[in-house]
Amino acid sequence: MSFKKLLQQGDHYISDVAIANYNKKGMNISFSYDAKKDSNIILPLVNYPGYVAVDQTGNRVSLYGNENHMLTVFLKKGYGNISVWYEGLQLFKVADYISLTCFLGFIIWGLIIKRKTEESFDCNKK
């Protein structure tokens, strides 16, 4: 049975873990669990660097890939809520800041050139 069909049945069990309130929107997943022992579950997400998982208290939860390159989350014994999302790499954030700085620089440079051009036309008219 596929993971998706299993989730459509409501509350259900994967090995020693009961999963409830499962919600997936794009690359974001949240769910509640009740684990009889420390367990690993495979999420329907391809493992890429940049995924983050936190529990209900905001502590990070261990994520890693399996042999099929799917994202696997480690669940501690007990119950709780997990949220998983793609945060991206730090390198992507640095590249975004560099791009924004260059874009603003081009705008400022264009305004300076425009101002100098207008001033030179004003001098020629007098």
Please tell me which residue, 98 or 91, carries the higher pLDDT value: 98
Kindly state the helix (H) or strand (E) to which residue 93 belongs, with its residue range.
Answer: helix 90-125
- pTM value is 0.59
Annotate 21-74 with DSSP letters as a single string: EEEEETTEEEEEEEESSSEEEEEEEE--TTEEEEETTS-B--EEE-TTSEEEEE
CATH top-level class of 3-86: mainly beta
Please tell me which residue, 122 or 107, carries the higher pLDDT value: 107
Each residue's pLDDT tens digit, 6-38: 555 544 445 678 888 888 888 888 998 888 888
Kindly state the helix (H) or strand (E) to which residue 118 belongs, with its residue range.
Answer: helix 90-125
Domain boundaries, the chain: 3-86, 90-126
User: What are the angstrom distances between the C-alpha of 35 and each of 25, 39, 76, 78, 126?
Assistant: 24, 7, 7, 5, 84
